[in-house]
Amino acid sequence: MEGGGVDHLAEERQKSRFDVDEMKIVWAGSRHAFEVSDRVARLVASDPAFRKDNRNLLSRKELFKNTLRKAAYAWKRIMELRLTEEEAAKLRFFIDEPAYTDLHWGMFVPAIKGQGTEEQQQKWLPLAYKMQIIGCYAQTELGHGSNVQGLETTATFDPQTDEFIINSPTLTSSKWWPGGLGKVSTHAVAYARLIVNGQDHGVHGFIVQLRSLDDHMPLPGITVGDIGMKFGSGAYNTMDNGVLRFDHVRIPRNQMLMRVLQVTREGKVVQSDVPRQLIYGTMVYVRQTIVSDASSALSRAVCIATRYSAVRRQFGSQKGGPETQVIDYKTQQSRLFPLLASAYAFRFVGEWLKWLYTDVTQRLQANDFSTLPEAHACTAGLKSLTTSATADAIEECRKLCGGHGYLTSSGLPELFAVYIPACTYEGDNTVLLLQVARFLMKTVSQLGSGKQPVGSTAYMSRAEHLMQCRCSAQRVEDWLKPDVVLEAFEARALRMSVACAQNLSKFSNPEEGFAELSADLAEAAIAHCQLIVVSKFVEKLQQDIPGQGVKQQLQTLCFVYSLHLLHKHQGDFLSTGCITPKQASLANEQLRSLYSQVRPNAIALVDAFNYTDHYLGSVLGRYDGNVYPTLYEDAWKDPLNDSVVPDGYHEYLRPVLKQQLRNARL
């Protein structure tokens, strides 16, 4: 995407055998999405106000103030340029800095939209859209995050005043973690146990004002602050994750979000026909967005590691010729190319999940709740799978870049530090896999009942075949048949689920059995989610994809993704009898030859992400590959090099050296 000086990767770019511009459109999702993304990325990259290369040198206070400045400036630009919602979201994305706005737009607004009545939406959304109020999502407490039903904050209805009294009865009930809460938010959607007439009706959302709109001081009864520094020096510390306590704070009755459950003026609790689980709807929405974000973070790390692997040379110089580019080592390819393929795989499964979410939202509006369990299982499972894989992949990319990958200027340490909490927030990844496992066990238990599994579990309707089929691959090329690959993944997923169900049936107490077998259940859930990713990649290839060679590249990547998983999880495939050891070795042979096909296209495949150097934020990943001079020059810019003799020399170095000299003379 960058133009200008000498392109050290030009030769690499000439090797590619497909139309990169068309691939950029496939990656973006559509020509329109590409144009918006490209335009906004350039806008951010060319504006010095969005500079980010100095982040690691700032103290926490400076860092946070700098984030406030950028967010305010971004808002000003959004207004001045009259950006659409889509463009504004892209602008925030390319600014590339966790900020309170993520929670305001990403959780506070969706919570009101999803759980508020029409009337509540009309009152609160215009204020939020104009940022006349700023909100956060205050669910997690010091004592409970995963177990939402275990939250302790109370919202007790007072029929005399027609208000709720929000209270934090224990230390562990203190809200703890919500982003944007610590220093910024004026309001929160706070989750609390609804108590009416002494009866506990479980956890619900309430809009609570936290700070004065005049002077930003906390309102009476509110104690609020930041929870302290997090992993890494810059990274997620731009965010004010907060602590919040309520001391009998009164809010009007109509500030309880009442789409699911209503409390009347008389104190009657009325359940609407909307299922209770909709209270968790905001999490479903965000989990869906996290899957697309995984492909962004992963592609960014892979772009850096791939470009640098083509620049870096080690060993193998023959008769004074150039040394080998590290990207040509088969070991480097076998570590890097599956990650490149995963980036594309996660992109496409993210697109599909967005469709699924839109579909379920439309159905919910028409009071059709039938696909909610499927949406929950898919968003939970894919969030877990893609974030775990991406976090591991960023660290692998760092190692793929050798020593220089450990430099902050490689961009990888900060990317890792910012990314890894995705494995925890919006649901711990193991906890979410167990939700998928519950869904799978329920589906398996209904197999004989005549109820046909649908959606992502539709393959289970062919249980009879999948439980006993034998893989037909006999030659290396057979592993390039989508049906062969898909059937192996389907049979493995089903057999693992069925084995868990059979083992569960041996327990007289199902909950006890579930707890005992939870590690196996989580593995069955992973197998199911991997199948979803593989099958959505295969489906993508059935679409009409224009551009010379584009579809062919995607086919190669699809098989790299699937055969790499098959190789990595060989134990599952072999122990469930889905493939034989001979077939496993044929698959691996095919995988090796696919790596050779990816090799000449690797640089173009990462160029297709269309990242600006500003967004990548990496000396190693520069578009022009001009790595060494930049690394060298950058080193001298470090504040430690401001003086030749360091501060502290006279106090701490000189005395030591003198002492040693004296001792030596004695």
Ligand X SMILES: Cc1cc2nc3c(=O)[nH]c(=O)nc-3n(C[C@H](O)[C@H](O)[C@H](O)COP(=O)(O)OP(=O)(O)OC[C@H]3O[C@@H](n4cnc5c(N)ncnc54)[C@H](O)[C@@H]3O)c2cc1C
**Contact pick of 372, 437, 441, 620 for ligand TC6 (by CB under 6 A):** 372
Q: Is 284 in the site for ligand TC6 (CB under 6 A)?
A: yes
Q: Is 280 in the site for ligand TC6 (CB under 6 A)?
A: yes
What tokens were used for 374? 């499927």
Residues 182 and 94: their CA atoms lie apart, in Å, by: 24
What tokens were used for 181? 């809460």
**430 binds, options ligand X, ligand TC6, none, Cβ within 5 to 8 A by partner type:** ligand X
| Candidate segments 35-43, 327-335, 372-380, 577-585, binder of ligand TC6 by CB under 6 A | 372-380
**241 binds, options ligand TC6, ligand X, none, Cβ within 5 to 8 A by partner type:** ligand X
Q: Is 242 in the site for ligand TC6 (CB under 6 A)?
A: no
Residues 583 and 99: their CA atoms lie apart, in Å, by: 49
Q: Is 234 in the site for ligand X (CB under 6 A)?
A: no
Is residue 430 marked as binding?
no
**Contact pick of 114, 135, 145, 482 for ligand X (by CB under 6 A):** 145
Is residue 450 marked as binding?
no
Q: Is 191 in the site for ligand TC6 (CB under 6 A)?
A: no
Q: Which is nearer to ligand X, 16 or 139 (CB)?
A: 139
Mapped onto helix, strand or coil, the DSSP state of residue 313 is strand
Nearest to 533 by CA among 648, 651, 381: 381
Q: Is 149 in the site for ligand TC6 (CB under 6 A)?
A: yes
Q: Which is nearer to ligand TC6, 78 or 181 (CB)?
A: 181
> Which residue type does 470 have?
R
Q: How many CA atoms lie less than 13 Å away from 299 in the CB half-sphere?
A: 26
From the CB of 245, what's the least distance to ligand X, in Å?
A: 15
Residues 527 and 530: their CA atoms lie apart, in Å, by: 5
Phi (first) and psi of residue 141, to 5 degrees: -120, 170
Residue showing tokens 């594309």: 344
**372 binds, options ligand TC6, ligand X, none, Cβ within 5 to 8 A by partner type:** ligand TC6
> Which residue type does 441 have?
M
Q: Is 137 in the site for ligand X (CB under 6 A)?
A: yes
Give the single-character DSSP code of 106: I
Q: Which is nearer to ligand TC6, 299 or 387 (CB)?
A: 387
From the CB of 147, what's the least distance to ligand TC6, in Å?
A: 6
Q: How many residues bind ligand X (CB under 6 A)?
A: 22
From the CB of 286, what's the least distance to ligand X, in Å?
A: 9
From the CB of 95, what's the least distance to ligand TC6, in Å?
A: 15
Q: Is 424 in the site for ligand X (CB under 6 A)?
A: yes
Helical H segments across 96-223, by residue range: 100-103, 109-115, 118-129
| Candidate segments 132-140, 330-338, 443-451, 528-536, binder of ligand TC6 by CB under 6 A | 132-140
**280 binds, options ligand TC6, ligand X, none, Cβ within 5 to 8 A by partner type:** ligand TC6
- Residue 566 contacts by C-beta under 8 Å, 6 or more apart in sequence? 485, 488, 489, 573, 579, 584, 587
Q: Which is nearer to ligand TC6, 436 or 565 (CB)?
A: 436
**Residue 153, Cβ neighbours under 10 Å: how many?**
25
**374 binds, options ligand TC6, ligand X, none, Cβ within 5 to 8 A by partner type:** none
**148 binds, options ligand X, ligand TC6, none, Cβ within 5 to 8 A by partner type:** ligand TC6
From the CB of 427, what's the least distance to ligand TC6, in Å?
A: 3
- List strand residue ranges (DSSP E) for 425-548, in order: none
**349 binds, options ligand TC6, ligand X, none, Cβ within 5 to 8 A by partner type:** none
Q: Is 416 in the site for ligand X (CB under 6 A)?
A: no
**DSSP notation for 360-387:** HHHHHHTT--TTHHHHHHHHHHHHHHHH
| Helix or strand holding residue 605 (H, E) | helix 602-607
**Contact pick of 114, 135, 421, 482 for ligand X (by CB under 6 A):** 421
Q: Is 277 in the site for ligand TC6 (CB under 6 A)?
A: yes
Residues 654 and 450: their CA atoms lie apart, in Å, by: 84
Angle at 481 between CA 475 and CA 482, to 5 degrees: 145
Q: Is 146 in the site for ligand X (CB under 6 A)?
A: yes
**161 binds, options ligand TC6, ligand X, none, Cβ within 5 to 8 A by partner type:** none
Q: Dihedral through CA 111, CA 113, CA 118, CA 119, nearest 10?
A: 60
What are the distances in angstroms from CA 3 to CA 7, 262, 567, 622, 623? 9, 58, 40, 11, 9
What are the distances in angstroms from CA 259 to CA 119, 282, 382? 10, 13, 27
Q: Is 501 in the site for ligand TC6 (CB under 6 A)?
A: no
> Which residue type does 308 have?
Y
From the CB of 102, what's the least distance to ligand TC6, in Å?
A: 5
Q: Is there a catalytic annotation at residue 426?
A: yes
Nearest to 346 by CA among 386, 306, 381: 386
- Residue 474 contacts by C-beta under 8 Å, 6 or more apart in sequence? 586
Out of 12, 426, 487, 490, pick the active-site residue.
426
**Contact pick of 96, 396, 426, 624 for ligand TC6 (by CB under 6 A):** 426
From the CB of 593, what's the least distance to ligand X, in Å?
A: 39
CA 315 to mean position of chain CA atoms: 37
SS (H, E, C) 213-255: CCCCCECCCEEEEECCCCCCCCHHHHCCCEEEEECCEEEEHHH
Q: Is 94 in the site for ligand TC6 (CB under 6 A)?
A: no
Q: Is 106 in the site for ligand X (CB under 6 A)?
A: no
Nearest to 353 by CA among 299, 441, 293, 298: 293
Q: Is 140 in the site for ligand TC6 (CB under 6 A)?
A: yes
CA 162 to mean position of chain CA atoms: 41
**29 binds, options ligand TC6, ligand X, none, Cβ within 5 to 8 A by partner type:** none
Q: Is 425 in the site for ligand TC6 (CB under 6 A)?
A: yes
DSSP β-ladder status, 187-196 and 135-138:
parallel
Query: Which of positions 450-489 make contact with ligand X (CB under 6 A)?
Result: none
Binding residues for FAD: 140, 179
Cite the active site residues: 426
Binding residues: 140, 179
Which chain residues interact with ligand X by CB under 6 A?
Answer: 103, 137-140, 144-146, 177-179, 236, 241, 421, 424-425, 427-428, 430-431, 434, 518
Which chain residues interact with ligand TC6 by CB under 6 A?
Answer: 102, 137, 139-140, 145-149, 179, 277, 280, 283-284, 372-373, 376, 425-427, 431, 435, 438, 442
